[in-house]
Structure 1
Amino acid sequence: MLTAEREKFFALLGDADEPGATRFVLGLFDNGVPPEHLLLDLVAPVQVKVGEYWATNRWSVAKEHAATHISECVVAALSTRTPVPPTRGHVVVSCMDGEWHALAARLVAEVLRLRGWRTTFLGASVPAAHLVSYLHQEGPDAVALSCALPVRLPHAHRMVETCQRTGVPVLVGGRGFGPDGRWARVLGAAGWAPGAREAADLLERRWPPPDLPHPELDHLVDDEYPTLVKRREELVDLALAALRREFPAMARYEERRLEATVEDLCHLADFLSAAVYVQDSVLFTDFLSWMCTVLAARHVPPTSLTIPLRTYWEALYDFPRARGHLEAGLRLVETGRAGLS
């Protein structure tokens, strides 16, 4: 659906043509395309493509930011053209604390509004204490929390827990909870939806759920996760030193590329910690598969991943769960199943 229109809209975003992109989408609306289709079958998939172009080094960060800003402006313009009186309950939509990817959550809020819900969109990175205070004041029927990156799951757990203590059931969504919502169940969220349509359908069909799930986090009784978080800087320093010794290309890195390498090593440590938190190697290996795609686009060989993975494994000799996730990651990279040649 809207295949040709997606190509046109993507081209307008690539040209940073905000007026043109807005006129194009509003023109489709004036010609009878339903607003929900424009949001979810045009803006959303094109924004995914924008992210892919950034990840594979075809677009700069600046170009991606400009495109995202235009998409947000288009959504706002479409919202002003589609007033819908609320006929259902009140839903608060927010991003997790530390989650700055707000467009997906905004799309959820807009679809719920179009379906007749009274929606309040709080935007990106809302601190848990402020969100809970707002829930106490407003007493909504549900709070919908968005998380784009699984590295934020420990924060997500705290937010889900504190929100549900107010008596407001929590619906979560976003790629951060896994493609099948498996980590939403682990954290004890009342419901999970893969997208805005599914979120709206779930709220219309059965809300609140009769029984709230219990978090599946008994493994956190040990101190492996908090200790791993404390050792993050040490692990990054060890991996960087190992790369300098064993990866000769590092000697030719300019400052910007060296900073990107340090950032990648931090991501490795953070995603490893998140995998330990939810006790699932898939979280870590999925990130490594994505990382391999990014490195391939930068023409960086897989050695640059195996060296830090082995370094972390050696340093964490008394961390059995973290070591298990690292071993799964090493198998993925070394056997080429991450799409590397």
Structure 2
Amino acid sequence: MSSTILSAENLRAAGETYLERIGEADEYGAVDLVLGLLDGGVPAERLLLELIAPAQRRVGELWAANTWSVAREHGATAVSERAIAAIATRTRTEPTRGRLTVACTDGEYHALPTRLLAEVLRLRGWRVDFLGANVPGPHLITHLHQTGPDAVALGCALATRLPRAHATLTACQAVGVPVMAGGAGFGADGRFARLLGADAWAPTADAAADHLDRGLPGFPDPRDALGHLADEEYTHLTRRRGELLTRAMTALTAAYPPMTAYRDRQLDATAEDLGHIVDFLAAALYVDDVPVFTGFVGWTRGVLAARGVPAAAVQAGLRIFHDELRDFPRARHMLVQGIEAARAGTDLEI
């Protein structure tokens, strides 16, 4: 089947078959499917971006809706990683361009989108060092000294990783290596890539490859963009994280009576959810962006509703943090907005 014959509709149908196979952890079936399409003339880049990437987005949606378990989601992702590797092996060619380092920022474990980028760049002729998930900044800098790449492509899927991403990209630039930022954590429009001083941002892997073809001119100097950090709310919140979570768990048990019947697993999950609230609040404080926090609250409300946790529980947790953070005016404003988002949000539509 040639790439001209394979219409968008047919590729979507192939994508549904692919989703079924990864959902069943059918590694051989998924790999056979993508290699069959590749051998039939479908370009590798198209398979990566129009078949595997949309299927993985769907996997995330099915997990969020509580349709798929964490185990099934992990299994599907592992099979997709195997399918990407199979495509990469089949299409291996000698690089004809410069050298790039591709990595996830420190603390970022969502590596598959960044892996897709690495393979697209290889297909475009670059020599790529793909370092994977959760790359500590100092170790990345050591790698740059050892290899001397033309640029770094830094992936960040969650806004909670933005402070570390900022430290990493600043360190890369300090040793003379420009940084291309990508991933949902930098904002749908790349506004946080600009705010934090990246040299470029791209919304998709193919857009990143196109941008690298043109070079990385850099954004305007953001040196005054983070003046809001002078109030030290971000710093104090992160330092008090452990104490704040302990107090919040105690207060939430009193404010939300159903918690008294929770089993240990439910209590652990509640503590984890409260931790995510603090982490997203900290990220929103770092970039001074209320929608970073309210967007997370709305998403969390939908995820928890799919698991039988009512919006009242989310609102109760947010009110407790609001009451605890009396000396944090920016954080309290964001929490008020978060309470409204939890009250007004709708469940996930899948």
TM class by shorter-chain length? Answer: over 0.9
Kindly provide the CA deviation profile for residues 92-119 of structure 1, in whole angstroms up to 9, marking residues without a partner as x.
Answer: 1011111111111110010011111111
Cα distance, 1:31 vs structure 2? 1.1
Identity of aligned pairs, percent? 54
- Aligned match of 1:178: 187
Secondary structure in 2 aligned to 1:171?
Answer: strand
Secondary structure in 2 aligned to 1:122?
Answer: strand
- Aligned match of 1:324: 333
Cα distance, 1:251 vs structure 2? 2.3
Secondary structure in 2 aligned to 1:86?
Answer: coil
Name the CA distance, whole Å, in 2 between partners of 1:138 and 1:212: 28
1:187-336 map, 5 Å: 187-205=196-214, 207-209=215-217, 213-215=221-223, 216-334=225-343, 336=344
Secondary structure in 1 aligned to 2:272?
Answer: helix
CA RMSD after TM alignment: 1.4
Kindly provide the CA deviation profile for residues 126-162 of structure 1, in whole angstroms up to 9, marking residues without a partner as x.
Answer: 1111111111221111100001110011101100110
Secondary structure in 2 aligned to 1:108?
Answer: helix
Kindly provide the CA deviation profile for residues 190-243 of structure 1, in whole angstroms up to 9, marking residues without a partner as x.
Answer: 1111110110011112x1316663242111123211110111122222322232
Name the CA distance, whole Å, in 2 between partners of 1:232 and 1:203: 39
After superposition, the Cα gap between the structure-2 partners of 1:204 and 1:257, relative to the gap in structure 1 and judged at 3 Å, is: same
**Which amino acid is the alignment partner of residue 9 of structure 1?**
Y
Cα distance, 1:65 vs structure 2? 1.2
Instruction: Tell me which moved more, 251-260 or 211-220.
Output: 211-220
Mapped pair 1:43 → 2:69: no
Secondary structure in 2 aligned to 1:201?
Answer: helix
After superposition, the Cα gap between the structure-2 partners of 1:43 and 1:272, relative to the gap in structure 1 and judged at 3 Å, is: same
- Aligned match of 1:20: 29
Cα distance, 1:252 vs structure 2? 2.5
- Please, which of 169, 179, 182 is the counterpart of residue 178 of structure 2? 169
Name the CA distance, whole Å, in 1 between partners of 2:52 and 2:255: 44
Cα distance, 1:48 vs structure 2? 1.0
User: Segments of 4+ in structure 1 off by > 4 A?
Assistant: none
Kindly provide the CA deviation profile for residues 228-286 of structure 1, in whole angstroms up to 9, marking residues without a partner as x.
Answer: 01111222223222321122221232221221111000000110011001110111011
- Aligned match of 1:83: 92
Contact 1:332 1:338 in 2 (8 A): no
After superposition, the Cα gap between the structure-2 partners of 1:174 and 1:63, relative to the gap in structure 1 and judged at 3 Å, is: same
Give unpaired runs (5+ residues) of structure 1.
none
**Which amino acid is the alignment partner of residue 209 of structure 1?**
P
Mapped pair 1:138 → 2:147: yes
1:100-119 map, 5 Å: 100-119=109-128
**Equivalent residue pairs, number:** 338
Name the CA distance, whole Å, in 2 between partners of 1:176 and 1:194: 11
Give unpaired runs (5+ residues) of structure 2.
1-7
Cα distance, 1:327 vs structure 2? 1.4
Contact 2:301 2:345 in 1 (8 A): no
Cα distance, 1:89 vs structure 2? 1.5
**Which amino acid is the alignment partner of residue 201 of structure 1?**
D
Instruction: Tell me which moved more, 234-243 or 96-105.
Output: 234-243
Contact 2:197 2:219 in 1 (8 A): no
1:56-67 map, 5 Å: 56-67=65-76
Name the CA distance, whole Å, in 2 between partners of 1:92 and 1:211: 20
TM-score normalised by L of structure 1: 0.96
**Which amino acid is the alignment partner of residue 166 of structure 1?**
V
Instruction: Tell me which moved more, 244-253 or 88-97.
Output: 244-253
- Please, which of 32, 35, 38 is the counterpart of residue 41 of structure 2? 32
Contact 1:239 1:307 in 2 (8 A): no
